[in-house]
Amino acid sequence: MAIYNPKSLKAEEFINDGEILDTLKYADENKDNLALVDEIIEKAKLRKGITHREASVLLACENEEKIKEIYALAEQIKKDFYGDRIVMFAPLYLSNYCVNGCVYCPYHLKNKHICRKKLTQEEVKAEVIALQDMGHKRLAIEAGEDPVNNPIEYILECIDTIYSIKHKNGAIRRVNVNIAATTVENYKKLHDAGIGTYILFQETYNKKSYEELHPTGPKHNYDYHTEAMDRAMEGGIDDVGLGVLFGLELYRYELAGLLMHAEHLEAVHGVGPHTISVPRIKAADDIDPDEFDNGIDDETFAKIIAIIRIAVPYTGMIISTRESKSVREKALRLGISQISGGSRTSVGGYVEEEDEDENSAQFDVSDRRSLDEVVRWLMELGYIPSFCTACYREGRTGDRFMALCKSGQIQNCCHPNALMTLEEYLMDYASPETREIGEKIIEKELLNIPKEKVRNIAREYIEEIKKDGKRDFRF
């Protein structure tokens, strides 16, 4: 039997089933132990995180007062670390050819009626122009796993094409990549191509369920998939993004596994995950989410987000348009720092209208608002939509990014960068109503830059964006 060891490079040792089952037992035994719950909340208030065991106790706890305290602390930690900034991105689906058999995903090999598409470089260009015209600066590229149709060379070519397109004032400044687990050599190539975060969802941390949910194809190999982030880091990628697909397995098992994975990355590489995503299963071409028994309600979902927020304060959290406006609103308060807007989950969906009969989409989108509507909505809620990509472009990745967080200089760095990129968005892409709201927010928020010198420079740069048409300033 494998023994739990967060420093091990073997999947079954750092995500250890025995340790997770013991953790859940410990959490059940202690869920009404309010003295312990208080102790864990006090520890979380130090803002240095809590362990998977401690987080599991909080998740099991049903005491309403304590849950309120957890939510309040999550909101406070969110404010302290991320201010009111929300980073914007969009997914770009390159190809839905796939050789895997994932039972929850309509791209699975046996689905013969979904429309299969793979973008040519000309089509990538057209999609990117459409995304730039919406105002996006940061993309997450997505592709099925298919060594023949989507080899690494194809992905690299697409990344090159995406970075090369400069249409009007537009530019994609950061390309995050969500493709199947691969080799160290391929991760090196992705690193050399200048990717931002490498994102790979674990789907489920439970090995037995994982193997059943991925019955065929290369993704069936649990160990290879679970050890992917270690290979990515070995290949030079500093920023990795974790996630589980909620609904596949017991959520309590998943939270423990997810946090153990974060602890493992910290123990081995000295830096935890850059982001954690929280997708839930959605209806799709031949997928009915009701066929999966472990779906979680909105309240449990919110609780999970709050607990992740306090467990790993330095890790950004992402929510996609899988979720509705109202679910996203609550999630933003409790910990989410990055959201997508105006998303299409079909291949070629930004140029072509999505067609019911020729559907190539991965899942149904709940939040179908345009980017302009999402940006305005965020500002009406008191947030600052940010199109910033400065950290990655200044080499502040991995532990250097974490050092910036820990130095307390975020307000002098991320805050002005958010305001400057928002100004670019307002000038180039926003509707008149959105622009009016945004200009007022920028004026007000400039005063919240602590250092006078930085404040004055930011004000000058914003004037240059507005009056001289200059772009791409950053601290």
Binding site for ligand SAM (CB under 6 A): 104-105, 142, 144-145, 178-180, 200-201, 203, 219, 245, 279, 281-282, 284, 287, 322, 362-363
| DSSP reduced 3-state for 140 | strand
Give Dmax over CA atoms of the chain in angstroms.
67
CB-nearer residue toward ligand SAM: 106 or 135: 106
Q: Which residue shows structure tokens 């369920």? A: 209
Strands 275-277 and 198-199: unpaired
Contacts of 293 (CB under 8 A, 6+ apart): none
Question: Kind and range of the H or E element at 380?
Answer: helix 371-380
The least distance separating ligand SAM from the CB of residue 279, rounded to whole angstroms, comes to 5
Nearest to 6 by CA among 57, 40, 48, 52: 52
Query: Measuring CA to CA, how many Å separate 5 from each of 234, 265, 367?
Result: 19, 12, 41
The least distance separating ligand SAM from the CB of residue 262, rounded to whole angstroms, comes to 18
CB-nearer residue toward ligand SAM: 230 or 445: 230
The least distance separating ligand SAM from the CB of residue 245, rounded to whole angstroms, comes to 4
Segments in 83-219 forming alpha helices (H): 121-134, 152-164, 184-192, 207-213
The least distance separating ligand SAM from the CB of residue 68, rounded to whole angstroms, comes to 30
| Residues 385, 398 contacting (CB under 8 angstroms) | no
The least distance separating ligand SAM from the CB of residue 280, rounded to whole angstroms, comes to 7
The encoded tokens of residue 190 equal: 């992705």
* Phi, psi for residue 83 in degrees, rounded to 5: 55, -140
CB-nearer residue toward ligand SAM: 118 or 322: 322
CB-nearer residue toward ligand SAM: 284 or 422: 284
CB-nearer residue toward ligand SAM: 178 or 315: 178
In one letter, which amino acid is 419? L
CB-nearer residue toward ligand SAM: 279 or 335: 279
CB-nearer residue toward ligand SAM: 191 or 471: 191
The least distance separating ligand SAM from the CB of residue 342, rounded to whole angstroms, comes to 18
The least distance separating ligand SAM from the CB of residue 258, rounded to whole angstroms, comes to 13
Which bin fits 395, alpha (ψ -120 to 50), beta or left (φ > 0)? left
DSSP secondary structure string for all residues of 326-373: HHHHHHHHHT--EEE-S---STTTTTSPP-STT---SS--S----HHH
The least distance separating ligand SAM from the CB of residue 144, rounded to whole angstroms, comes to 5
d(CA 403, CA 1): 38
The least distance separating ligand SAM from the CB of residue 398, rounded to whole angstroms, comes to 22
| Residues 314, 273 contacting (CB under 8 angstroms) | no
The least distance separating ligand SAM from the CB of residue 370, rounded to whole angstroms, comes to 22
CB-nearer residue toward ligand SAM: 138 or 376: 138
CB-nearer residue toward ligand SAM: 105 or 114: 105
d(CA 158, CA 233): 22
CB-nearer residue toward ligand SAM: 193 or 414: 193
